[in-house]
Amino acid sequence: MSSLGLFIADQKDLNLLKVFILPRAIEAVYNLLVEKKIITPIKYGTQLMTIGSLWVISYNFLNETHNLTPSFMKTLYTYSNKTQGEGYLLDAMRTNVINDCKVYYPNHKFT
């Protein structure tokens, strides 16, 4: 049912729909792996898988923006309801991370 939404969704809302469907998809993969006995079930396994995947997205959104497509970043910006001041703070934090990496890895060409 969730994948049907990808086909009938408006093109501009497609990335947002992907964000909403991701936790359910992770849960389905976990359940399939348990059903096929590839992994053993763990307590709160589906919740942990979902938390992990959303943590990866959040980490990439905050620190590794080059890993996400521009349209996905725009969707996250649009629906996170951040203010202009929060945007300045986020940009400053990203600049500090890059500058710290330049000091720590002097031979690497950071963008």
Classify residue 65: in a domain, yes or no: yes
Q: Indicate the pTM of the whole model.
A: 0.55
C-alpha distance from residue 27 to each of 16, 30, 46, 51, 59 (Å):
18, 5, 5, 10, 20
Classify residue 87: in a domain, yes or no: no
Radius of gyration of the chain (CA): 18
Going from the first residue of the chain to its last (111 residues), give the mean pLDDT of each consecutive group of 10, the final group possibly shorter: 62 68 79 90 84 82 80 78 81 84 81 60
Classify residue 97: in a domain, yes or no: no
Classify residue 85: in a domain, yes or no: no
In the structure encoding, which two tokens stand for residue 71, read together?
Answer: 């349209």
CA distance 23 to 11: 21
Structural domains counted in the chain? 1
Express each pLDDT in 26-56 by its tens digit: 788 888 888 999 988 888 887 888 788 888 8
In the structure encoding, which two tokens stand for residue 27, read together?
Answer: 């849960």
Query: Could you list the residue range(s) of the whole structural domain that residue 8 is in?
Result: 2-80
